[in-house]
Structure 1
Amino acid sequence: MANPKPRLKRDSTTSAPTGQSVTSRALALLGTFDSEHPRLTLSDMASRAGLPVATAHRLTGELVSWGALQRSGQDYLIGHRIWQLGLLAPAHQGFAELAAPYMQDVLFVTQNVVNLFILDNDQVLLLERMSGTRVGAPFRRVGEHLPLHASAAGKVMMAFGESDVLEAGMASLTQLTEHTITAPQQLRREIAKVREDGYATTSQEAGAQNYGVAVPVISLNGRCLAALGVVTLERPASVGAVVPVLRIAARSIARRLSMSTES
């Protein structure tokens, strides 16, 4: 009888198999970074990636040499080469460039930070942002994610996207602040109101002193492509003044996108 095939051993602190390829291990190290962990030590990276420290040290050195990572003291950060590659992604290059002039119009009229979000699995991704010297510091950076249930953009996606988007948002109601909606029935009522009103708002649900308003970008065939919104600090924006401007810009973006796909 043939001997059974040996099973891959796993590191005791993680679920990552030790039989991974070099490529998958390097990608695992890059995948340890996110909006909540923009800086990590070598030991933190190794732990989060499920790799021995010695392996992480060797691969990290190669990633730094290539420009995928950069070192700052004892910490590591995402490097410029990853940023440059990200700018080439079709989702960023096409959609963001097309939307930029209309986002600029919203910034000019409202004097608020303007954000463009797209759906990314069970979160929303900040694809593009417009801000000026007089509108204050942006709350999020391009490339960061927000939960569906705690962001105006996420609520828009839940209200106007496919039914599975709503269920995905309902499945993980993490409390980020004391104002975050974590009760399923309350969130369902909120999403129903968003459908009725045509826009979503947040009031310190993702961060203290952070207020958001967003509207859907709906394609000509009725698909929700993105969420366009503004964010303000310390006090909410005037819905009556901001929402009409956002709607005009959202319709213009949808039309331009339709024209670009037809040409």
Structure 2
Amino acid sequence: MSQRIVREPSGRGSVTSRALSVLDTFEPGREHQTLSDISRRAGLPVATAHRLISELVDWGGLERKGKHYSVGQRIWALGHLAVMQKSLTGVAAPHMQDVLFITQNVVNLFVPEDNDVLLVERMSGSLVKVPFRRVGEKVSYNGSAGGKVLLAYAPDSVVEAVLESPARYTKKTLVSPGEIKRESRRVREQGFATSMEETAEGHYGLAVPITIGDGRVVAAIGVVTLAGPAPVGTVVPVLRIAARAIGRQLTLDDGGVWSV
């Protein structure tokens, strides 16, 4: 991997440009860096880099673990706002309609928002009952199938917050940190998540991730059933086709550039 050095002489430039030069040192393969790594790659004196890093940590743009720093939840959340500004729901709607037509199940679209997940779109037909949750409502990561999908790919700071105080909706909700961690590993391995009466009795969820071109998971699409769990073998392939189509369109939007 070629080393990228920010082109700014030490001591010059605005505070904003120097803070951006610190953030610019993070890239795939360099997700965790020490103070000296950042100082060298940003072309800044160690004292200046330390001051800027401290301010970014306080703001939430970076987080510290031991001697290493990584991109924080605040930057991650801002990235997802960019997705929303490019009308994720508009891109997803036709594909959600396809899922509804094929499965005859309520279809949900979730995105991360702070330490919860936000239901940004929902579709249901005349053959299904009134949905349990409304668009705009939040649910904890550890409750719904969509939340579990997003938790499996969330930053460490989000995972830690969920493990510290997991919400309980029913007696079947996973609240043990060990169980939640095992569930996240299972989601990453199998590529989908299930929820068995974990947000409400008689409600079953099944969801898959929506991934954009650089590999980041930006949303989750899933179905909710009431009579019993949806058949994984038939519904997951339908959800994956929809998720791939949505992710591909988001990635190719604006002439091939999707800024998240």
Normalising by the smaller structure, the TM-score range is 0.5 to 0.7
**Alignment partner of 1:156 out of 149, 161, 178:** 149
Unaligned runs of 5+ in 2: 1-81
Superposed displacement of residue 168, structure 1: 2.5
Superposed displacement of residue 90, structure 1: 7.7
Counterpart residue number, 1:103? 96
TM-score by length of 1: 0.64
Superposed displacement of residue 155, structure 1: 0.7
Counterpart residue number, 2:108? 115
**Alignment partner of 1:172 out of 162, 165, 173:** 165
TM-score by length of 2: 0.64
Cα distance between partner residues in 2 of 1:157 and 1:106: 20
1:135 paired to 2:128:
yes
1:204 paired to 2:197:
yes
Cα distance between partner residues in 2 of 1:90 and 1:151: 21
Cα distance between partner residues in 2 of 1:93 and 1:135: 30
For residue 226 of structure 1, give the secondary structure of its aligned residue in structure 2. strand
Unaligned runs of 5+ in 1: 1-88
Cα distance between partner residues in 2 of 1:198 and 1:192: 10
Identity %: 50
Counterpart residue number, 1:184? 177
Deviations 1:77-120 (A, max 9, x none): xxxxxxxxxxxx98277110110000001001111000000000
Superposed displacement of residue 261, structure 1: 3.7
Does the Cα contact within 8 Å between 1:157 and 1:165 map onto a contact in 2? no
Root-mean-square deviation (Å): 1.7
Does the Cα contact within 8 Å between 1:117 and 1:126 map onto a contact in 2? yes
Superposed displacement of residue 238, structure 1: 0.6
Pair 1:261–1:139, CA change in 2 (3 A): farther
Counterpart residue number, 1:13? none
| Structure 1 outlier segments of 4+, above 4 Å | none
Count, aligned residues: 175
